[in-house]
Copies of this chain bind each other. A is one copy, B any other.
Amino acid sequence: MGGVRLAVVGGDGIGPEVVAEGLKVLSAVLPDVETTDYDLGATAYHRTGEPLPDSVRAELAGHDAILLGAIGDPSVPPGVLERGLLLRLRFAFDHYVNLRPAKIWPGTATPLAHPGEVDFVVIREGTEGLYVGAGGTLAKGFPHEVATEESINTRVGVQRVVEDAFTRAAARPRKHLTLVHKTNVLTQAGGLWSRVFAEVSERFPAVQTAYQHVDAASMFMVTDPSRYDVIVTDNLFGDILTDIAAAVTGGIGLAASANINPTGAFPSMFEPVHGSAPDIAGKGVADPIATILSTALLLEHLGHPKAALRVQEAVAAELIARTAGAPLRTAEVGDRVATAVS
């Protein structure tokens, strides 16, 4: 097997700091990683006026995978970098499976008094729904102004992510899959999701299924998160649910994600769920665990399950050894985990 050609987008704020630690761990566990840095994010945008030049997108497409830190800066109006860079990558590379595991690691403090055993994965659709940018504003600034946002959902788009979710659920010990939507209000999109879910479920008789409205699921994620095994949901509901999941499992500093194109036609992209956190950028105090766990997802995706497991075990050891309240140094965390996997 040849080496892995990895595109690296540190991005904004703490992005470059946490990505440096992810790479430290990755190269400790996999000898043959060839990285190319791409300077994208707020600074590059201010310089070039383009969030993602076409030529850069074409270059990125030639890699085996992308490791991304964080995108977003107060100096850029909301949406410009998110829509023009982060979401553009997810859409252009058809990352229809946005995989976000949620697990309470031993030794981790959670805000819940009795969390129970929490170890589930949210499969968030990544290319459709309200994220498509099909909105408009009429009579901006006038008293009769109207602004719209349209959620567009295709059978192809829903079916492929639901199939992926059933496949993943079937491979897990509990084999349980919950569909989350809001079918009692969003009857059109909800109808499509429900019908497709029911159809696909016939091909997976071993998988037990459940349905919950997004408001109820948001509640149960706080009162009883251990009930979940695999959740499949749309782009926006997945965005919200995975932040609640991160909160109950010990914080956004630990939450990893993978934007996967399962066909392999385009590179998949691995990124922490957290944002650029401009308030702590450059101080060396950001927790790189979310990025390090994202590299474990990258290793799994590229067919290195043993290496992925070594990273996860090293993270588990790191989290158990942590003393609550003790100061955290980004680079030291990366050093310790990298040493442990070497």
Contacts and interface: CB of A to CB of B under 8 A. Distances in A.
A142 B222 CA distance: 38
Contacts of A248: 222
A151 B189 CA distance: 13
Given A185-B79, A222-B248, A191 B147 contact: yes
A82 interface: yes
A152 B146 contact: yes
A209 B254 CA distance: 29
Interface string A105-117: 0000011111000
A147 B142 contact: no
Q: How many copies does the complex hold?
A: 2
Nearest to A187: B79
A239 interface: yes
* A-B CB proximity, top 4 nearest: A135-B188, A145-B155, A79-B187, A147-B192
A84 B268 CA distance: 43
A37 to B, nearest CB: 25
A284 interface: no
29 contacts: A78-B194, A79-B183, A79-B184, A82-B184, A83-B184, A83-B187, A111-B113, A111-B222, A111-B223, A113-B113, A136-B188, A144-B154, A144-B156, A146-B155, A147-B153, A148-B152, A151-B151, A182-B239, A185-B236, A214-B239, A215-B240, A216-B243, A218-B240, A219-B243, A220-B247, A222-B222, A222-B244, A222-B247, A222-B248
Contacts of A139: 155
Given A78-B190, A151-B151, 13 more contacts: A78-B183, A83-B185, A87-B185, A111-B223, A112-B112, A130-B151, A135-B188, A145-B154, A148-B188, A215-B240, A220-B247, A222-B247, A222-B248
Of listed A136, A141, A146, residue having the most chain B CB within 10 A: A146
A252 interface: yes
A137 interface: yes
Of listed A216, A222, A236, residue having the most chain B CB within 10 A: A222
Interface of A: 72, 78-79, 82-83, 87, 110-114, 130-131, 133, 135-137, 139, 141-156, 182-192, 194-195, 214-216, 218-220, 222-223, 236, 239-240, 242-244, 246-248, 251-252
B130 A186 contact: yes
A131 B247 contact: no
A72 B147 contact: no
Of listed A135, A149, A223, A236, residue having the most chain B CB within 10 A: A149
Contacts of A155: 139, 142-146
B147 A150 contact: no
Contact of A236 (B152, B182, B188): B182
A144 B136 CA distance: 25
A148 B153 contact: yes
Contact of A185 (B130, B182, B192, B247): B130
Nearest to A216: B243
A195 to B, nearest CB: 8
Contacts of A78: 183-184, 187, 190, 194
